[in-house]
Structure 1
Amino acid sequence: MPVEDSNEVYTQYSLLHSLVAGGVAGVVVDIALFPIDTVKTRLQSELGFIRAGGFRGIYKGLAPAAAGSAPTAALFFFSYESFKRYLCMTTGVTNSPYIHMVSASCAEVLACLIRVPVEIAKQRCQTLGNTHKTTAMQILWRAYRTEGLRSGLYRGFGTTVMREIPFSLIQFPLWEYFKLHWTATSGMQSTPFTVALCGAVAGGIAAGLTTPLDVAKTRIMLAEQGTATKKLNARNVLASVYRERGLAGIFAGFAPRVLWITLGGAFFFGFYDLTSRLLGGNFAADNTNH
Protein backbone atom coordinates (compact mmCIF):
# COMPACT_ATOMS: atom_id res chain seq x y z
CA MET A 1 0.00 0.00 0.00
CA PRO A 2 1.45 3.46 -0.89
CA VAL A 3 2.41 5.59 2.10
CA GLU A 4 -0.04 8.40 1.24
CA ASP A 5 -2.96 5.96 0.88
CA SER A 6 -1.91 4.21 4.08
CA ASN A 7 -1.86 7.47 6.04
CA GLU A 8 -5.27 8.45 4.69
CA VAL A 9 -6.78 5.10 5.65
CA TYR A 10 -5.10 5.24 9.06
CA THR A 11 -6.56 8.70 9.63
CA GLN A 12 -10.05 7.46 8.78
CA TYR A 13 -9.66 4.47 11.09
CA SER A 14 -8.24 6.53 13.96
CA LEU A 15 -11.14 9.01 13.74
CA LEU A 16 -13.61 6.14 13.69
CA HIS A 17 -11.85 4.67 16.72
CA SER A 18 -12.12 7.99 18.56
CA LEU A 19 -15.86 8.00 17.82
CA VAL A 20 -16.37 4.50 19.23
CA ALA A 21 -13.92 4.88 22.12
CA GLY A 22 -15.49 8.16 23.19
CA GLY A 23 -18.94 6.57 23.22
CA VAL A 24 -17.78 3.60 25.31
CA ALA A 25 -15.97 5.86 27.79
CA GLY A 26 -18.99 8.16 28.15
CA VAL A 27 -21.39 5.33 28.98
CA VAL A 28 -19.01 3.78 31.54
CA VAL A 29 -18.49 7.07 33.37
CA ASP A 30 -22.13 8.20 33.47
CA ILE A 31 -23.45 4.87 34.73
CA ALA A 32 -20.66 4.16 37.25
CA LEU A 33 -20.61 7.62 38.83
CA PHE A 34 -24.24 8.70 38.48
CA PRO A 35 -25.04 8.80 42.25
CA ILE A 36 -22.28 11.36 42.83
CA ASP A 37 -23.69 13.53 40.05
CA THR A 38 -27.16 13.35 41.64
CA VAL A 39 -25.81 14.50 45.01
CA LYS A 40 -23.97 17.37 43.31
CA THR A 41 -27.08 18.50 41.41
CA ARG A 42 -29.25 18.44 44.54
CA LEU A 43 -26.70 20.44 46.51
CA GLN A 44 -26.78 23.11 43.80
CA SER A 45 -30.57 23.14 43.45
CA GLU A 46 -32.51 26.21 44.55
CA LEU A 47 -34.74 23.86 46.59
CA GLY A 48 -31.81 22.78 48.72
CA PHE A 49 -30.39 19.28 49.15
CA ILE A 50 -33.11 17.78 51.36
CA ARG A 51 -36.13 19.18 49.50
CA ALA A 52 -34.58 18.17 46.17
CA GLY A 53 -34.49 14.54 47.33
CA GLY A 54 -31.51 14.14 49.65
CA PHE A 55 -29.93 10.71 49.32
CA ARG A 56 -33.17 9.08 48.20
CA GLY A 57 -33.62 7.91 44.63
CA ILE A 58 -30.05 8.73 43.67
CA TYR A 59 -30.44 6.84 40.39
CA LYS A 60 -33.33 8.99 39.19
CA GLY A 61 -32.45 10.43 35.79
CA LEU A 62 -30.08 7.58 34.92
CA ALA A 63 -32.04 6.63 31.78
CA PRO A 64 -31.61 9.95 29.91
CA ALA A 65 -28.00 10.22 31.11
CA ALA A 66 -27.16 6.73 29.84
CA ALA A 67 -29.00 7.30 26.55
CA GLY A 68 -27.25 10.62 25.90
CA SER A 69 -23.76 9.83 27.18
CA ALA A 70 -22.59 7.70 24.24
CA PRO A 71 -23.54 10.10 21.40
CA THR A 72 -22.35 13.14 23.38
CA ALA A 73 -18.93 11.69 24.22
CA ALA A 74 -18.55 10.14 20.76
CA LEU A 75 -19.31 13.45 19.03
CA PHE A 76 -16.94 15.31 21.35
CA PHE A 77 -13.93 13.04 20.83
CA PHE A 78 -14.51 12.66 17.11
CA SER A 79 -14.67 16.47 16.79
CA TYR A 80 -11.71 17.01 19.12
CA GLU A 81 -9.44 14.63 17.21
CA SER A 82 -10.65 16.02 13.85
CA PHE A 83 -10.04 19.66 14.81
CA LYS A 84 -6.69 18.80 16.40
CA ARG A 85 -5.54 16.87 13.33
CA TYR A 86 -6.65 19.66 10.98
CA LEU A 87 -4.97 22.42 13.00
CA CYS A 88 -1.74 20.44 13.33
CA MET A 89 -1.65 19.86 9.56
CA THR A 90 -2.51 23.50 8.82
CA THR A 91 -0.02 25.08 11.21
CA GLY A 92 2.69 22.43 11.07
CA VAL A 93 2.81 22.48 14.86
CA THR A 94 2.21 19.47 17.10
CA ASN A 95 1.62 19.20 20.86
CA SER A 96 0.68 22.85 21.15
CA PRO A 97 -1.55 23.75 24.14
CA TYR A 98 -3.24 26.38 21.98
CA ILE A 99 -4.28 23.75 19.43
CA HIS A 100 -5.60 21.57 22.24
CA MET A 101 -7.55 24.51 23.66
CA VAL A 102 -9.13 25.50 20.36
CA SER A 103 -9.93 21.89 19.42
CA ALA A 104 -11.53 21.14 22.78
CA SER A 105 -13.56 24.36 22.74
CA CYS A 106 -14.96 23.72 19.25
CA ALA A 107 -15.75 20.12 20.16
CA GLU A 108 -17.56 21.21 23.34
CA VAL A 109 -19.88 23.54 21.42
CA LEU A 110 -20.88 20.70 19.08
CA ALA A 111 -21.30 18.22 21.94
CA CYS A 112 -23.59 20.66 23.77
CA LEU A 113 -26.15 20.25 20.98
CA ILE A 114 -26.81 16.81 22.49
CA ARG A 115 -25.67 17.45 26.06
CA VAL A 116 -28.04 20.32 26.93
CA PRO A 117 -31.40 18.55 26.35
CA VAL A 118 -30.01 15.47 28.10
CA GLU A 119 -28.90 17.57 31.06
CA ILE A 120 -32.31 19.22 31.33
CA ALA A 121 -34.09 15.87 31.40
CA LYS A 122 -31.55 14.32 33.77
CA GLN A 123 -31.35 17.16 36.29
CA ARG A 124 -35.11 17.65 36.47
CA CYS A 125 -35.51 13.92 37.11
CA GLN A 126 -32.86 14.14 39.82
CA THR A 127 -34.66 16.95 41.69
CA LEU A 128 -38.34 16.08 41.22
CA GLY A 129 -38.47 13.93 44.35
CA ASN A 130 -39.57 10.34 44.77
CA THR A 131 -43.32 11.05 44.45
CA HIS A 132 -43.06 12.15 40.82
CA LYS A 133 -43.17 9.46 38.13
CA THR A 134 -42.51 11.77 35.17
CA THR A 135 -40.25 10.24 32.52
CA ALA A 136 -37.41 11.99 30.73
CA MET A 137 -39.33 12.08 27.45
CA GLN A 138 -42.33 13.65 29.20
CA ILE A 139 -40.07 16.29 30.72
CA LEU A 140 -38.55 17.17 27.34
CA TRP A 141 -41.91 17.19 25.56
CA ARG A 142 -43.42 19.43 28.24
CA ALA A 143 -40.41 21.78 28.03
CA TYR A 144 -40.75 21.98 24.24
CA ARG A 145 -44.56 22.37 24.27
CA THR A 146 -44.68 25.06 26.96
CA GLU A 147 -41.40 26.91 26.39
CA GLY A 148 -40.31 26.15 22.83
CA LEU A 149 -37.01 24.92 21.42
CA ARG A 150 -34.69 27.67 22.59
CA SER A 151 -36.17 28.44 26.02
CA GLY A 152 -37.26 24.87 26.70
CA LEU A 153 -35.04 22.15 25.26
CA TYR A 154 -31.99 24.41 24.95
CA ARG A 155 -32.43 26.55 28.02
CA GLY A 156 -29.03 27.19 29.55
CA PHE A 157 -27.19 26.38 26.32
CA GLY A 158 -25.07 29.52 26.54
CA THR A 159 -24.35 28.95 30.23
CA THR A 160 -23.42 25.33 29.58
CA VAL A 161 -21.03 26.37 26.82
CA MET A 162 -19.61 29.02 29.18
CA ARG A 163 -18.96 26.24 31.68
CA GLU A 164 -17.62 23.65 29.26
CA ILE A 165 -15.19 25.87 27.34
CA PRO A 166 -13.24 27.12 30.42
CA PHE A 167 -13.31 23.56 31.75
CA SER A 168 -11.83 22.21 28.50
CA LEU A 169 -9.32 25.07 28.25
CA ILE A 170 -7.93 23.84 31.57
CA GLN A 171 -8.47 20.08 31.35
CA PHE A 172 -7.28 19.12 27.87
CA PRO A 173 -3.99 21.04 27.71
CA LEU A 174 -3.17 19.63 31.17
CA TRP A 175 -4.12 16.10 30.08
CA GLU A 176 -2.06 16.32 26.89
CA TYR A 177 0.87 17.86 28.82
CA PHE A 178 0.81 15.16 31.51
CA LYS A 179 0.64 12.41 28.87
CA LEU A 180 3.48 13.93 26.85
CA HIS A 181 5.82 14.23 29.83
CA TRP A 182 4.84 11.04 31.65
CA THR A 183 7.56 8.82 30.14
CA ALA A 184 10.32 11.42 30.47
CA THR A 185 9.41 12.09 34.09
CA SER A 186 8.67 8.58 35.34
CA GLY A 187 10.77 6.50 32.96
CA MET A 188 7.76 4.26 32.28
CA GLN A 189 5.84 3.75 29.06
CA SER A 190 2.36 5.20 28.71
CA THR A 191 -0.47 2.73 29.47
CA PRO A 192 -4.25 3.07 29.83
CA PHE A 193 -3.66 3.31 33.60
CA THR A 194 -1.22 6.22 33.28
CA VAL A 195 -3.51 7.96 30.78
CA ALA A 196 -6.34 7.51 33.29
CA LEU A 197 -4.20 8.99 36.06
CA CYS A 198 -3.35 12.01 33.92
CA GLY A 199 -7.03 12.47 33.11
CA ALA A 200 -8.02 12.25 36.77
CA VAL A 201 -5.58 14.96 37.87
CA ALA A 202 -6.43 17.26 34.96
CA GLY A 203 -10.17 16.76 35.47
CA GLY A 204 -10.05 17.39 39.22
CA ILE A 205 -8.19 20.69 38.77
CA ALA A 206 -10.58 21.87 36.04
CA ALA A 207 -13.66 20.78 38.03
CA GLY A 208 -12.71 22.74 41.13
CA LEU A 209 -11.97 25.94 39.24
CA THR A 210 -15.22 25.87 37.21
CA THR A 211 -17.66 24.92 40.00
CA PRO A 212 -19.32 28.39 40.10
CA LEU A 213 -20.17 28.12 36.40
CA ASP A 214 -21.70 24.70 37.07
CA VAL A 215 -23.82 26.18 39.86
CA ALA A 216 -25.15 28.86 37.50
CA LYS A 217 -25.90 26.30 34.80
CA THR A 218 -27.79 24.05 37.21
CA ARG A 219 -29.88 26.91 38.64
CA ILE A 220 -30.90 28.12 35.16
CA MET A 221 -31.80 24.64 33.91
CA LEU A 222 -33.90 23.85 36.99
CA ALA A 223 -35.72 27.20 37.14
CA GLU A 224 -39.49 27.03 36.83
CA GLN A 225 -41.27 28.64 33.88
CA GLY A 226 -41.90 32.34 34.52
CA THR A 227 -39.42 32.68 37.39
CA ALA A 228 -36.73 35.34 37.48
CA THR A 229 -33.88 32.80 37.49
CA LYS A 230 -34.92 31.46 34.08
CA LYS A 231 -34.28 34.87 32.51
CA LEU A 232 -30.96 35.61 34.20
CA ASN A 233 -27.47 35.09 32.82
CA ALA A 234 -24.69 33.28 34.67
CA ARG A 235 -23.27 36.44 36.22
CA ASN A 236 -26.62 37.55 37.64
CA VAL A 237 -27.44 34.07 38.90
CA LEU A 238 -24.13 33.84 40.74
CA ALA A 239 -24.65 37.32 42.22
CA SER A 240 -28.06 36.21 43.50
CA VAL A 241 -26.63 32.97 44.93
CA TYR A 242 -23.86 34.91 46.66
CA ARG A 243 -26.38 37.25 48.30
CA GLU A 244 -28.39 34.26 49.54
CA ARG A 245 -25.67 31.86 50.65
CA GLY A 246 -22.32 33.59 50.31
CA LEU A 247 -19.19 31.86 49.04
CA ALA A 248 -20.52 28.46 50.12
CA GLY A 249 -23.39 28.90 47.66
CA ILE A 250 -21.07 29.87 44.82
CA PHE A 251 -19.10 26.66 45.36
CA ALA A 252 -22.05 24.43 46.26
CA GLY A 253 -21.38 20.84 45.29
CA PHE A 254 -17.61 21.48 45.10
CA ALA A 255 -16.58 18.23 46.80
CA PRO A 256 -18.88 15.85 44.87
CA ARG A 257 -18.14 17.66 41.59
CA VAL A 258 -14.38 17.37 42.05
CA LEU A 259 -14.73 13.75 43.19
CA TRP A 260 -17.10 12.94 40.32
CA ILE A 261 -14.90 14.46 37.62
CA THR A 262 -11.64 13.18 39.12
CA LEU A 263 -13.00 9.63 39.09
CA GLY A 264 -14.79 10.35 35.83
CA GLY A 265 -11.57 11.59 34.26
CA ALA A 266 -9.81 8.39 35.28
CA PHE A 267 -12.61 6.19 33.90
CA PHE A 268 -13.20 8.34 30.83
CA PHE A 269 -9.66 8.79 29.58
CA GLY A 270 -8.59 5.33 30.74
CA PHE A 271 -11.38 3.56 28.89
CA TYR A 272 -10.96 5.89 25.91
CA ASP A 273 -7.28 4.97 25.64
CA LEU A 274 -7.92 1.27 26.29
CA THR A 275 -10.71 1.08 23.70
CA SER A 276 -8.59 2.99 21.17
CA ARG A 277 -5.73 0.54 21.67
CA LEU A 278 -8.03 -2.48 21.34
CA LEU A 279 -9.67 -1.10 18.20
CA GLY A 280 -6.54 0.23 16.57
CA GLY A 281 -3.91 -2.28 17.66
CA ASN A 282 -4.07 -4.64 14.71
CA PHE A 283 -4.46 -1.94 12.11
CA ALA A 284 -1.75 0.23 13.63
CA ALA A 285 0.61 -2.72 13.65
CA ASP A 286 -0.21 -3.52 10.03
CA ASN A 287 0.17 0.11 9.02
CA THR A 288 3.70 0.37 10.36
CA ASN A 289 4.84 -2.30 7.94
CA HIS A 290 4.04 -0.23 4.84
Structure 2
Amino acid sequence: MSTEPQIFPRLAGKTVLVTGAGTGFGHEIAFRAAQEGARVGVHYNSSRAGAEKTAERIRSIGGEAELFQADIGTWDAVKQLAAEAFDAFGTVDVLVNNVGDVATEQMSWKELTQESLDRVIDVDVKGTLYMVHEFGQRMVEQGHGAIVNIGSTVVVRGSARAPQYAAAKYGLLGINKSYAAAFAPQVRVNIFAPGFMETGATLAREDWKSGRREKLIAQTPLGHIPPPEVVAGTALFLATDDASHITGAYMLADGGFNMVGA
Protein backbone atom coordinates (compact mmCIF):
# COMPACT_ATOMS: atom_id res chain seq x y z
CA MET A 1 0.00 0.00 0.00
CA SER A 2 1.10 3.55 -0.68
CA THR A 3 2.26 5.79 2.14
CA GLU A 4 0.72 8.84 0.47
CA PRO A 5 -1.86 10.36 2.82
CA GLN A 6 -5.54 10.86 2.13
CA ILE A 7 -6.04 14.59 2.36
CA PHE A 8 -9.01 16.90 2.88
CA PRO A 9 -11.87 14.44 2.27
CA ARG A 10 -14.02 17.14 0.64
CA LEU A 11 -15.35 14.59 -1.85
CA ALA A 12 -16.05 11.67 0.48
CA GLY A 13 -18.78 9.45 -0.94
CA LYS A 14 -18.84 11.31 -4.27
CA THR A 15 -18.24 9.98 -7.76
CA VAL A 16 -15.94 12.06 -9.97
CA LEU A 17 -15.30 11.49 -13.69
CA VAL A 18 -12.17 13.13 -15.11
CA THR A 19 -11.61 13.27 -18.86
CA GLY A 20 -8.09 12.86 -20.22
CA ALA A 21 -7.02 11.32 -16.92
CA GLY A 22 -4.24 9.21 -18.40
CA THR A 23 -1.71 12.05 -18.62
CA GLY A 24 -0.64 15.38 -17.17
CA PHE A 25 -3.15 17.53 -15.31
CA GLY A 26 -5.97 15.01 -15.73
CA HIS A 27 -3.93 12.34 -13.98
CA GLU A 28 -3.25 14.62 -11.02
CA ILE A 29 -6.90 15.75 -10.73
CA ALA A 30 -8.09 12.14 -10.76
CA PHE A 31 -5.58 11.13 -8.08
CA ARG A 32 -6.37 14.15 -5.93
CA ALA A 33 -10.10 13.35 -6.16
CA ALA A 34 -9.33 9.86 -4.84
CA GLN A 35 -7.22 11.31 -2.02
CA GLU A 36 -10.24 13.41 -1.11
CA GLY A 37 -12.46 10.34 -0.83
CA ALA A 38 -14.09 10.09 -4.25
CA ARG A 39 -14.71 7.09 -6.47
CA VAL A 40 -13.05 8.06 -9.73
CA GLY A 41 -13.91 7.49 -13.36
CA VAL A 42 -10.68 7.63 -15.35
CA HIS A 43 -11.45 8.58 -18.93
CA TYR A 44 -8.97 8.27 -21.79
CA ASN A 45 -9.05 8.23 -25.57
CA SER A 46 -5.72 6.78 -26.71
CA SER A 47 -3.63 6.83 -23.50
CA ARG A 48 -4.80 3.49 -22.11
CA ALA A 49 -1.45 2.70 -20.49
CA GLY A 50 -1.48 6.08 -18.78
CA ALA A 51 -5.08 5.61 -17.63
CA GLU A 52 -4.18 2.23 -16.16
CA LYS A 53 -1.30 3.86 -14.25
CA THR A 54 -3.71 6.48 -12.91
CA ALA A 55 -6.12 3.75 -11.79
CA GLU A 56 -3.27 1.78 -10.19
CA ARG A 57 -2.09 4.84 -8.27
CA ILE A 58 -5.65 5.47 -7.04
CA ARG A 59 -6.04 1.85 -5.93
CA SER A 60 -2.67 1.97 -4.15
CA ILE A 61 -4.19 4.35 -1.57
CA GLY A 62 -7.32 2.23 -1.22
CA GLY A 63 -9.34 4.22 -3.73
CA GLU A 64 -11.82 3.00 -6.32
CA ALA A 65 -11.20 3.64 -10.03
CA GLU A 66 -13.01 2.64 -13.22
CA LEU A 67 -11.62 3.11 -16.73
CA PHE A 68 -13.69 4.56 -19.56
CA GLN A 69 -12.58 4.98 -23.18
CA ALA A 70 -14.16 7.47 -25.59
CA ASP A 71 -13.27 9.94 -28.34
CA ILE A 72 -15.12 12.96 -26.99
CA GLY A 73 -14.91 14.66 -30.39
CA THR A 74 -17.98 12.66 -31.49
CA TRP A 75 -21.42 13.06 -29.92
CA ASP A 76 -22.35 9.37 -30.18
CA ALA A 77 -19.21 8.40 -28.26
CA VAL A 78 -20.02 10.92 -25.53
CA LYS A 79 -23.60 9.60 -25.24
CA GLN A 80 -22.19 6.11 -24.80
CA LEU A 81 -19.61 7.34 -22.26
CA ALA A 82 -22.31 9.04 -20.19
CA ALA A 83 -24.48 5.90 -20.25
CA GLU A 84 -21.51 3.71 -19.24
CA ALA A 85 -20.42 6.01 -16.41
CA PHE A 86 -23.90 6.33 -14.90
CA ASP A 87 -24.46 2.58 -15.27
CA ALA A 88 -21.14 1.77 -13.59
CA PHE A 89 -21.48 4.18 -10.67
CA GLY A 90 -25.24 4.72 -10.41
CA THR A 91 -24.52 8.42 -10.14
CA VAL A 92 -21.89 10.90 -11.30
CA ASP A 93 -21.65 13.78 -8.86
CA VAL A 94 -18.76 15.64 -10.47
CA LEU A 95 -17.52 15.92 -14.05
CA VAL A 96 -14.13 17.46 -14.76
CA ASN A 97 -13.73 18.28 -18.44
CA ASN A 98 -9.96 18.28 -18.64
CA VAL A 99 -9.48 17.09 -22.23
CA GLY A 100 -8.22 19.78 -24.55
CA ASP A 101 -6.00 19.93 -27.61
CA VAL A 102 -3.52 22.80 -27.28
CA ALA A 103 -1.82 22.20 -30.66
CA THR A 104 1.54 21.70 -28.95
CA GLU A 105 3.24 20.92 -32.25
CA GLN A 106 2.57 24.47 -33.49
CA MET A 107 5.08 27.18 -32.59
CA SER A 108 3.65 30.08 -34.63
CA TRP A 109 0.34 31.31 -36.06
CA LYS A 110 2.01 30.97 -39.47
CA GLU A 111 1.93 27.18 -39.09
CA LEU A 112 -1.87 26.98 -38.76
CA THR A 113 -3.43 24.16 -40.81
CA GLN A 114 -7.01 23.22 -41.57
CA GLU A 115 -6.42 19.89 -39.89
CA SER A 116 -5.18 21.44 -36.64
CA LEU A 117 -8.00 24.01 -36.60
CA ASP A 118 -10.63 21.30 -37.07
CA ARG A 119 -9.06 19.03 -34.46
CA VAL A 120 -8.83 21.71 -31.78
CA ILE A 121 -12.40 22.91 -32.36
CA ASP A 122 -13.75 19.34 -32.46
CA VAL A 123 -12.17 18.43 -29.13
CA ASP A 124 -12.06 21.68 -27.15
CA VAL A 125 -15.37 23.23 -28.22
CA LYS A 126 -17.61 20.49 -29.58
CA GLY A 127 -16.27 17.78 -27.27
CA THR A 128 -16.66 19.91 -24.16
CA LEU A 129 -20.16 20.96 -25.20
CA TYR A 130 -21.17 17.33 -25.81
CA MET A 131 -19.83 16.34 -22.39
CA VAL A 132 -21.56 19.17 -20.53
CA HIS A 133 -24.79 18.51 -22.43
CA GLU A 134 -24.93 14.75 -21.90
CA PHE A 135 -23.64 14.53 -18.33
CA GLY A 136 -25.36 17.73 -17.26
CA GLN A 137 -28.83 16.65 -18.32
CA ARG A 138 -28.42 13.42 -16.34
CA MET A 139 -27.23 15.43 -13.34
CA VAL A 140 -30.29 17.68 -13.61
CA GLU A 141 -32.48 14.56 -13.63
CA GLN A 142 -30.74 13.19 -10.51
CA GLY A 143 -31.16 16.57 -8.84
CA HIS A 144 -27.55 17.53 -8.18
CA GLY A 145 -24.09 17.77 -9.69
CA ALA A 146 -21.10 19.96 -10.43
CA ILE A 147 -19.17 20.38 -13.67
CA VAL A 148 -15.67 21.84 -13.78
CA ASN A 149 -14.42 22.82 -17.22
CA ILE A 150 -10.66 23.26 -17.45
CA GLY A 151 -10.05 26.55 -19.19
CA SER A 152 -6.94 28.54 -19.91
CA THR A 153 -5.44 31.93 -19.20
CA VAL A 154 -5.14 32.26 -22.98
CA VAL A 155 -8.51 34.05 -22.85
CA VAL A 156 -6.72 36.98 -21.17
CA ARG A 157 -3.94 37.46 -23.70
CA GLY A 158 -4.88 35.41 -26.75
CA SER A 159 -2.30 33.19 -28.42
CA ALA A 160 0.03 34.41 -31.12
CA ARG A 161 1.32 30.82 -31.21
CA ALA A 162 -1.98 29.00 -31.79
CA PRO A 163 -5.00 31.25 -32.46
CA GLN A 164 -7.26 28.21 -32.85
CA TYR A 165 -6.55 27.25 -29.24
CA ALA A 166 -7.45 30.72 -27.96
CA ALA A 167 -10.61 30.68 -30.09
CA ALA A 168 -11.59 27.33 -28.61
CA LYS A 169 -11.08 28.48 -25.03
CA TYR A 170 -13.16 31.59 -25.72
CA GLY A 171 -15.84 29.21 -27.00
CA LEU A 172 -15.66 27.42 -23.66
CA LEU A 173 -16.73 30.64 -21.91
CA GLY A 174 -19.98 30.61 -23.89
CA ILE A 175 -20.60 26.94 -23.16
CA ASN A 176 -19.92 27.47 -19.46
CA LYS A 177 -22.26 30.42 -18.97
CA SER A 178 -25.02 28.95 -21.12
CA TYR A 179 -25.22 25.65 -19.31
CA ALA A 180 -24.71 27.26 -15.88
CA ALA A 181 -27.91 29.19 -16.60
CA ALA A 182 -29.70 26.20 -18.14
CA PHE A 183 -28.89 23.70 -15.38
CA ALA A 184 -29.44 25.97 -12.37
CA PRO A 185 -30.25 25.45 -9.58
CA GLN A 186 -29.55 21.69 -9.56
CA VAL A 187 -26.16 21.67 -11.30
CA ARG A 188 -23.30 24.14 -11.08
CA VAL A 189 -20.99 24.72 -14.07
CA ASN A 190 -17.69 26.56 -13.69
CA ILE A 191 -14.32 27.08 -15.37
CA PHE A 192 -11.01 26.54 -13.64
CA ALA A 193 -8.15 28.18 -15.53
CA PRO A 194 -4.63 27.20 -14.53
CA GLY A 195 -1.70 29.18 -15.78
CA PHE A 196 1.40 27.49 -17.11
CA MET A 197 2.17 24.15 -15.45
CA GLU A 198 5.23 21.99 -15.84
CA THR A 199 3.63 18.92 -17.38
CA GLY A 200 5.52 16.47 -19.57
CA ALA A 201 3.98 18.06 -22.67
CA THR A 202 5.05 21.56 -21.62
CA LEU A 203 8.59 20.49 -20.73
CA ALA A 204 8.97 18.91 -24.18
CA ARG A 205 7.97 22.05 -26.09
CA GLU A 206 10.70 23.69 -28.15
CA ASP A 207 9.87 27.22 -26.94
CA TRP A 208 9.96 25.99 -23.32
CA LYS A 209 13.47 24.65 -23.78
CA SER A 210 14.74 27.81 -25.43
CA GLY A 211 14.16 30.47 -22.79
CA ARG A 212 10.39 30.87 -22.53
CA ARG A 213 10.24 29.23 -19.10
CA GLU A 214 12.70 31.71 -17.58
CA LYS A 215 10.91 34.66 -19.18
CA LEU A 216 7.54 33.55 -17.79
CA ILE A 217 8.92 32.98 -14.29
CA ALA A 218 10.33 36.52 -14.33
CA GLN A 219 6.83 37.84 -15.17
CA THR A 220 5.03 35.75 -12.52
CA PRO A 221 4.62 37.54 -9.16
CA LEU A 222 4.71 34.28 -7.18
CA GLY A 223 7.98 33.45 -8.91
CA HIS A 224 7.53 29.87 -10.03
CA ILE A 225 5.69 27.61 -12.44
CA PRO A 226 4.19 24.69 -10.55
CA PRO A 227 3.79 21.03 -11.40
CA PRO A 228 0.11 20.13 -11.98
CA GLU A 229 -0.45 18.50 -8.58
CA VAL A 230 -0.08 21.92 -6.92
CA VAL A 231 -3.31 23.20 -8.51
CA ALA A 232 -5.28 19.94 -8.87
CA GLY A 233 -6.99 20.56 -5.53
CA THR A 234 -7.77 24.12 -6.59
CA ALA A 235 -9.65 22.82 -9.62
CA LEU A 236 -11.65 20.41 -7.46
CA PHE A 237 -12.58 23.20 -5.03
CA LEU A 238 -15.21 24.31 -7.56
CA ALA A 239 -16.91 20.91 -7.18
CA THR A 240 -17.05 21.00 -3.37
CA ASP A 241 -19.75 22.24 -1.00
CA ASP A 242 -17.53 25.22 -0.18
CA ALA A 243 -18.25 26.44 -3.72
CA SER A 244 -22.01 25.84 -3.46
CA HIS A 245 -22.86 29.44 -4.38
CA ILE A 246 -20.52 29.64 -7.38
CA THR A 247 -21.78 28.95 -10.91
CA GLY A 248 -21.02 30.34 -14.34
CA ALA A 249 -17.69 31.55 -12.97
CA TYR A 250 -14.12 31.63 -14.20
CA MET A 251 -11.44 30.99 -11.59
CA LEU A 252 -7.79 31.76 -12.31
CA ALA A 253 -4.76 30.15 -10.64
CA ASP A 254 -1.64 31.40 -12.38
CA GLY A 255 0.63 32.89 -9.73
CA GLY A 256 -0.56 36.40 -10.62
CA PHE A 257 0.75 36.29 -14.19
CA ASN A 258 -2.49 37.50 -15.79
CA MET A 259 -3.90 39.76 -13.08
CA VAL A 260 -7.19 40.87 -14.55
CA GLY A 261 -9.30 43.87 -13.65
CA ALA A 262 -12.73 43.61 -12.10
Tell whether the structures are fold-level matches, with TM greater than 0.5. no
Going by fraction, where is helix more abundant, 1 or 2?
Answer: 1
TM-score, normalised relative to structure 1: 0.27
TM-score, normalised relative to structure 2: 0.30
